[in-house]
Amino acid sequence: MICNCFGVLNRCKGRTASAGQTHAQEIVRKDFRFFSYNTLRSATENFHPSTRIGRGGYGVVHRGILRDGTEVAIKSLSMESRQGTKEFITEVGMIINIRHPNLVQLIGCCVEENHRILVYEFVENNSLASSLLGSRKYINLDWPKRAAICLGTASGLAFLHEEAEPNIVHRDIKASNILLDGNFHPKIGDFGLAKLFPDNVTHVSTQVAGTMGYLAPEYALMGQLTKKADVYSFGILMLEIISGRRSSNAAFGQDFLGLVEWVWKLKEEDKLLDIVDPALKEFDKVEVLRFIKVALFCTQSASQQRPAMKQVVKMLSKEVHLNEKLLTEPGVYRWRNSRLCCDAGLEETSSSQVGKLNQSVNPSVTSTRLTDAGSMSEIIPR
């Protein structure tokens, strides 16, 4: 289907060029649009720096206004990006038909000469990273909003894992990839690192891609990618949302522990509420404790012991009773580098640096003891 669509684009480009038109016309195929480069350049005032709203591992994102007045987010893939034509088409092919309230909607794209551009719906309140974890927190996120962000993100990720055809693993769940709309509803963005999972495949050995501070140990060390790697990243994200702290800073408590290690230490000391963001003046202590414990279930060392995202949604929705006796110590992928560990202003570190860093991991990560994810919680009759 994608090849046919691109075929339509190429033929149209030929006709437009022969007619001597300056601006190529947008091509509408059902509800997906193909844009000319000139159209997107006009929408962003020639990609003016003032329209830039973000930058990811694969390129820059600009805010644009189309001719009909529609606001959009325009993601231009960098020329240096490892994501070539094949990867670009794969990305488009994966998300072209995916629709869910908690996923950023892809509106269209541009494939013209060397330009590879994705056009998404515009999400008003930027990313969770900038609004909650940035140096300038300009949005007051109370506990009900944070709880809704956790639940909404879990719902979107569960949809990708279980309902999307074929199932999709995101591979880079982090605060900067969670966008907030005008009502602070979360939307998962940036599927550039996603991999598809056929029904008969349980794990895929692949080049590690993701962000330091969020990587599951078995994925970072051995390249074993399953849906449970996303579950781990989601658990870290939840701890960031609750604490208001970045996991990548890796210096918590007197022992300068990583975020998840610090939380586990507080659990053993029966002081879990100490991780709560000081900015939260009022919150439901019972609910917050539940969310912290769900995050710990998600970050357990052995991937087989982590719940599936569909079950996480139930755990967050109070549909299950958490069996804390089965909760085991979290897995940690630790790197040693003085700049990474000590720079308090550090942004997320790309996993492209993995090969340059010394590695250590909780020994239980390689455990072969399998536990049914369903056993860690108990269904309560309604």
Catalytic residues: 172
How far apart are the C-alpha atoms of 252 and 94, rounded to whole Å?
38
* Residues 162 and 98: beta-carbon distance below 8 Å: no
In sequence order, what are the beta bridge partners of 54? 61
The whole-angstrom separation of Cα 56 and Cα 355 is 20
Q: Is there a contact between 226 and 202 (Cβ–Cβ < 8 Å)?
A: yes
Positive/negative CA dihedral, 38, 39, 45, 49:
negative
Q: How many CA atoms lie within 13 A of 155 on its CB side?
A: 16
Burial classification of residue 150, based on how many CB atoms lie within 10 Å of its CB (0-12 exposed, 13-18 middle, 19 or more buried): buried
Cβ atoms < 10 Å from Cβ of 174: 27
Both tokens of 139, joined, read: 């949005």
Tell whether 137 is in a known binding site: no
Residue positions forming the annotated binding site for ATP: 75
Residue positions forming the annotated binding site: 75
